[in-house]
């Protein structure tokens, strides 16, 4: 069996930074994490900087020039997964933005096929809409936003049972508390987003089973002095929340405040679009043209439409611009999102998949291994 030993001054195992450690890989699995002087014999690569788990991204709309849409197949999902693996996210939830019922059905079928094919990096699906609040549509097509029906509920429960994981971004304006409970009981991770929900409505949805919030601060009710909104429910409660840490979607001072208010439960997402992993300067979202300009993805009216961001860039932003510890920044892109969806990825320990990333001293991505193979 092929063995590979990677050593580094720092190995982050998902929760703790271990100085001067070695990671021992056999085939596609990690078999040991131990001090360098206790490493066994075998082919060895001595690296500088930091080794961390392969990154986990729970909100990926596209990559390699394509979006996840109604034309999805197991192969197109594999293409998106492969593009993000090369960017450091070795496990992702390809994400469908609000679309037609036919498109949703097609994406679910493609996701189930991708799971059966054991597609590298495919952890399940994220359906962001169409059951949102049109008052907070963001870049979603308001004409396609609609309340959840019994037919929708049955389809989503079936999807949750047949996918490795299923995350659903929903707004209380378009779903009932009973529907949230049924989805949660079916195994879906319900995330609140694109919503004007009040603090009380958010807490009621949480009691019904909602566990997460989609891209904190963006497209949601904000924190006010007498109306805490969904943001207040996150900052004062236990909901997990994804954050787009590019300095554009959330002001650095606002992000720093959130990180101070919540010591756990916050995680990084890229909200990446079709341009990820390419040099493309534009693409289409439905029938709308999206421009890539100076690190922004914009609709014609200037609305942000996803992010031009990778998780390593978000990690570097937290460490170098916001002064967060490397351990916290790395956990927000590995163990924390992985634990939310119940996967054993996002950690370095015996029995975990041999998915790893290597950062240099300046927190630039310097190498990626997936299933023990360097990409």
Quick: pLDDT tens for 248-285: 999 999 999 999 999 999 999 999 999 999 999 999 88
Rounded to whole angstroms, the Cα distance separating 189 from 211 reads 6
Q: Are residues 81 and 207 in the same domain?
A: yes
C-alpha distance from residue 15 to each of 7, 182, 207, 213, 338 (Å): 18, 32, 28, 22, 12
Is residue 357 located within the same domain as residue 330? no
What is the structure's pLDDT at 262?
Answer: 96
Euclidean distance between CA atoms 166 and 173, whole angstroms: 21
Both 89 and 37 in one domain: the answer is no
How do residues 77-133 score in pLDDT, each as one tens digit? 999 999 999 999 999 999 999 999 999 999 999 999 999 999 999 999 999 999 999
* Same domain? 47 vs 62: no
Question: How are beta strands 44-46 and 3-12 bridged, if at all?
Answer: parallel
CATH code for position 28:
2.30.40.10
3-class DSSP string for the chain: CCEEEEEEEEEECCCCEEEEEEEEEECCEEEEEEEHHHCCCCCEEECCCEEEECCEEEEECEECCEECCCCCCHHHHHHHHHHHHHCCCCEEEEEEECCCHHHHHHHHHHHHHHHHCCCCCECCEEEECCCCCHHHCCCCCHHHCCCCCHHHHHHHHHHHHHCCCEEEEECCCCCCHHHHHHHHHCCCEEEECCECCCHHHHHHHHHHCCCEECCCCCCECCCCCCCCHHHHHHHCCCCEEEECCCCCCCCHHHHHHHHHHCCCCEEECCCECCCCCCCCCEEEECCEEEEEECCEEECCCCCECCECCCHHHHHHHHHHCCCCCHHHHHHCCCHHHHHHHCCCCCCCCCCCECCEEEECCCCCEEEEEECCEEC
**Residue 301: band (very low, low, confident or very high) from pLDDT cuts 50, 70, 90:** confident
Q: What mean pLDDT is predicted for residues 187-203?
A: 98
Same domain? For 317 and 334 the reply is yes
The neighbour count for residue 204, using CB atoms within 10 Å, is 15
CATH number for position 124: 3.20.20.140
User: Kindly report the CA angle at 151 between 146 and 155, in degrees rounded to 5?
Assistant: 100
Question: How far is Cα 129 from Cα 99, in angstroms, rounded to an integer?
Answer: 8
Are 47 and 59 contained in the same domain?
no
Residues 40 and 65 in one domain: no
Number of domains in the chain: 2
Render pLDDT for 312-345 as a digit per residue (tens, 0 to 9).
999 999 999 999 999 999 999 999 999 999 999 9
Mean pLDDT of 29-38: 97
Residue 299: domain span: 55-341
Mean pLDDT over the full length of the chain? 96
CA quadruple 174, 178, 184, 186: dihedral positive or negative? negative
* DSSP-derived pairing of the beta strands 17-26 and 29-35: antiparallel
Whether 246 is catalytic is: no
In the set 271, 301, 355, 360, the catalytic residue is: 271
Candidates 127, 206, 129; CA nearest to 166 is 127
Same structural domain, 277 and 356: no
Q: Residue 207: is its pLDDT beyond 90?
A: yes
Q: What is the pLDDT of residue 1?
A: 56
pLDDT in tens, 303-314: 888 889 999 999
Rounded Cα–Cα distance for residues 354 and 348 (Å) = 8
Query: What percentage of the chain reaches a pLDDT higher than 70?
Result: 100
pTM, full prediction:
0.97
User: Same domain, yes or no, for 81 and 106?
Assistant: yes
In this prediction, residue 306 carries a pLDDT of 85
Q: Do 320 and 203 lie in a common domain?
A: yes
Q: Does residue 223 share a domain with residue 304?
A: yes
What is the model's pLDDT at position 242? Answer: 98
Does residue 239 share a domain with residue 143?
Answer: yes
């Amino acid at each position: 069996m092929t063995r590979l030993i990677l050593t580094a001054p720092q190995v982050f195992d998902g929760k703790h930074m271990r100085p001067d450690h070695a990671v021992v890989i056999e085939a596609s699995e990690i078999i040991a994490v131990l001090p360098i002087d206790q490493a066994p014999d075998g082919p060895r690569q001595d690296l500088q900087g930091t080794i961390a788990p392969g990154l986990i991204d729970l909100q990926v709309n596209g990559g390699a020039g394509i979006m996840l849409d109604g034309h999805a197949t197991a192969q197109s999902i594999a293409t998106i997964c492969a593009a993000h693996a090369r960017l450091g996210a070795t496990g992702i939830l390809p994400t469908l933005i609000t679309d037609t019922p036919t498109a949703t059905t097609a994406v679910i079928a493609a996701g189930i096929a991708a799971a059966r094919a054991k597609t590298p990096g495919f952890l399940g699906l994220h359906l962001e809409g169409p059951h949102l609040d049109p008052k907070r549509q963001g870049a979603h097509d308001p004409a396609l936003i609609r309340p959840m029906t019994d037919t929708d509920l049955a389809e989503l429960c079936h999807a949750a049972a047949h996918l490795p994981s299923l995350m659903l971004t929903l707004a209380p304006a378009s779903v009932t508390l009973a529907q949230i409970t049924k989805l949660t009981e079916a195994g879906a991770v319900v995330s609140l987003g694109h919503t004007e929900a009040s603090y009380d409505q958010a807490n009621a949805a949480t009691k019904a089973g909602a566990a997460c919030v989609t891209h904190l601060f963006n497209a949601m009710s904000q924190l006010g002095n007498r109306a805490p909104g969904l943001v207040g429910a996150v900052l004062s409660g236990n909901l997990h929340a994804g954050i787009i840490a590019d300095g554009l979607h959330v002001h650095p001072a606002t992000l720093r405040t959130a990180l101070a208010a919540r010591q756990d439960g916050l995680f990084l997402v890229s909200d990446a679009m079709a341009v990820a992993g390419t040099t493309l300067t534009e693409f289409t979202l439905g029938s709308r043209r999206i421009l890539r300009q100076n690190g922004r993805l914009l609709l014609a009216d200037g609305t942000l439409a996803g992010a031009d961001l990778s998780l390593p860039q978000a990690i570097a932003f937290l460490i170098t611009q916001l002064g967060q510890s490397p351990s916290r920044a790395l956990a927000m892109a590995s163990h924390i999102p992985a634990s939310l969806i119940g996967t054993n990825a996002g950690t370095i320990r015996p029995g975990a998949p041999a998915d790893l990333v290597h950062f240099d001293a300046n927190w630039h991505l310097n190498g990626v291994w997936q299933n023990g193979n360097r990409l």
